[in-house]
Structure 1
Amino acid sequence: MTLLRFNTVDVFAEHQFGGNPLAVVHGADTLTTEQMQSIAAEFNLSETTFVLRPADPANTARIRIFTPRAELPFAGHPNVGTAYVLASEAERRKRPILDDTMKFEELSGVVAVNVLRNGAGIVGAQVAAPQQLSVGSGLAPGIVSALCGLPTASIEQSRHLPVIASAGNPFVFTQLRDRAALSAATPNQAAFEQHLPRELAAGLFLYVREPTSDPPIQARMFAPLHGIPEDPATGSGNVALIGLLAHLNSKPDLVLKARIGQGVDMGRPSLLQAMAAKRNGVVTATQVGGRCVPVMSGTLTLR
């Protein structure tokens, strides 16, 4: 019999039961990949993380990230939530994290995460994407229309066609014409199976830009082939989105920041703070962060 501690936390949340829930399983060194996948399916959240000893003692931990159906090389909300949980535990033990900076070993590389504080203590975290922005092939608007059940007229094509981009985890990014179209989108699993296999992209990321609204960007992300019909908040998607928007901007040098809302249409409102730096026409760095709220803690028993 094996006993494992776990915590759950709402990530990119302003209050409990908002944002994107995450399960963090501690002391997972003895678990097999199959056991981790089964535990993630049991939690049935967008992602579950497993904390292991790092290969390099200079790093904080090794982290493995699983959806209910597959392991991911990188994801934003699992890094933010795991950092929040580990930093909060370290604080309670009177062993605060040095310089509020953590380094996680992941399949995508070493990921740097900074703890966010206010006067009350640790409130969240901010993660830097482990890879530089890459912009790949496009996808025909008609295919995107099939994926999300919208007419092609709902797809905004003036700034960019649907395109695969990644800062550690690839998504198909599609701008829609208005908020009504975003609300009406519905994932079509059969279309995903036909047109968007998991090895091509993690999911479909839809967004609208409304400069007079707060937040000025609203997004939704569908990944049914990962067991995630819709994700309340997608850090790896939003960190690539801010990089893509900086890439598309005509200025060769800039620092672009944005507040991005997600999860509203599924009753899990989330707020993400994203940033991209661009120098000499190249996006050199991207970050995403937000607040976290603890929800549960307990013990998982493996027999």
Structure 2
Amino acid sequence: MKFLFEQVTVFSDKKLDGNPLAVVVGADSLTHHQMEQFAKWTNLSETVFLLQPKHPDADYFVKIFTAEGELPFAGHPTLGSCFVWQQIYGQQNKSTITQQCEAGLINIKQINGRLAFMAPPMIRTGELEENERIKILNALGLTDNDVEACQWLDNGPGWLGIQLKSVATLLSVKPDYAQLKGYDIGLCAIYPEGDDKQLEVRAFCCSIAEEDPVTGSLNAVFAQWLIPQGKLPKHYVAGQGQCVSRNGLVYVSSDEYGIWVGGDVVNCISGTVEFD
């Protein structure tokens, strides 16, 4: 069986920046096992499979896999799969797009020429227990003096969100992955006023001992966490990926409907993929 295959980069307008995504189009006949095996083979942070929608209000259905298994929702796969769906099915002019995924229905629209998804609601928040906090900060090479705030954040993927007091400290962190196995940790720090960016972000996927280049779901929960506190404006730009040579940019905006997370998407590879 042959399927259309696209590989795009998300959160950058340059082909070798941002976060790459593999997209298999029209994959309705593939089994869960085939999807899982292919995602392991691509060895990208995420691989997605575009399917026909099962909900009457959805334009398409997407299944999202890491090399470790399926995710109910993720940010850069949402923007990348929407971009491919638009290109393949000629839907570039559709004003609002509804994606179905395991987390439910996600609305997507164009904001200032970029695709943006509405951040799904946070399903879990909470404080970190003190013993666990000490362990994690030690493994990150941080102290309490470096930390502004710390909270569990969950919008499908679950994150331990840590706001640091300085961008310089954030960029210097070198995690001890052996001590952090089982955690997904997101760090952020606010830039001084007047900078082109307002926030810098890093994401550590500790179960696979890797830093994610640019992470839409994490940027979404940071916005949901920090905008209501007045720590960030309703419209801002976040950077992510400096420490892994990817200069991703995430464009966050708010309106009466919620928080939108946007970014550029660029096509890199087009072809077919064959499954047994």
- TM value normalised by structure 2: 0.90
Superposition deviation, residue 134 in structure 1? 4.6
Contact 2:65 2:71 (C-alpha < 8 Å) held by counterparts = yes
Counterparts of 1:212 and 1:116, CA distance in 2: 23
Instruction: Tell me the residue number matched to 1:174.
Output: 162
Instruction: Tell me the residue number matched to 2:33.
Output: 34
Amino acid in the other structure paired with 1:67: T
- Aligned residue runs from structure 1 range 256-271, under 5 A: 256-271=234-249
Are residues 233 and 249 of structure 1, via their aligned partners in 2, closer, same or farther at CA, if it must alter by over 3 Å? same
Are residues 132 and 174 of structure 1, via their aligned partners in 2, closer, same or farther at CA, if it must alter by over 3 Å? closer
- Which sections of structure 2, spanning at least 5 residues, go unmatched? none
Counterparts of 1:228 and 1:61, CA distance in 2: 32
Instruction: Tell me the residue number matched to 1:151.
Output: 142
- Aligned residue runs from structure 1 range 1-303, under 5 A: 2-91=1-90, 96=91, 99-115=94-110, 118=113, 124-132=114-122, 134-140=124-130, 141-148=133-140, 150-153=141-144, 155-157=146-148, 160=149, 162-193=150-181, 197=182, 203-210=184-191, 211-225=193-207, 227=208, 229-249=210-230, 256-276=234-254, 285-303=258-276
> What are the Cα deviations for residues 233-276 of structure 1, in whole angstroms up to 9, with x where unaligned?
110100110110023239xxx97121000001110110001134
Amino acid in the other structure paired with 2:199: I
Among all aligned residue pairs of Structure 1 and Structure 2, give the percentage whose two residues are the same amino acid: 29
Superposition deviation, residue 297 in structure 1? 1.2
What SS does structure 1 have at the residue aligned with 2:2?
A: strand
Runs of 4+ in 1 over 6 A off after TM superposition: none
Counterparts of 2:160 and 2:258, CA distance in 1: 20
What SS does structure 2 have at the residue aligned with 1:23?
A: strand
Contact 2:159 2:185 (C-alpha < 8 Å) held by counterparts = yes
Are residues 274 and 133 of structure 1, via their aligned partners in 2, closer, same or farther at CA, if it must alter by over 3 Å? farther
Counterparts of 2:138 and 2:66, CA distance in 1: 24
What SS does structure 1 have at the residue aligned with 2:234?
A: strand
Contact 1:105 1:111 (C-alpha < 8 Å) held by counterparts = yes
Q: Name the count of aligned residue pairs.
A: 273
- Which sections of structure 1, spanning at least 5 residues, go unmatched? 119-123, 279-283
Q: Give the superposed CA RMSD.
A: 2.3
Contact 1:13 1:19 (C-alpha < 8 Å) held by counterparts = yes
Are residues 139 and 292 of structure 1, via their aligned partners in 2, closer, same or farther at CA, if it must alter by over 3 Å? farther
Amino acid in the other structure paired with 1:39: F
Contact 1:114 1:127 (C-alpha < 8 Å) held by counterparts = yes
- TM value normalised by structure 1: 0.82
Counterparts of 1:136 and 1:62, CA distance in 2: 31
Counterparts of 1:98 and 1:146, CA distance in 2: 50
What SS does structure 2 have at the residue aligned with 1:187?
A: coil
Amino acid in the other structure paired with 2:53: P
Contact 2:122 2:153 (C-alpha < 8 Å) held by counterparts = no
Counterparts of 2:209 and 2:75, CA distance in 1: 15
Instruction: Tell me the residue number matched to 1:281.
Output: none
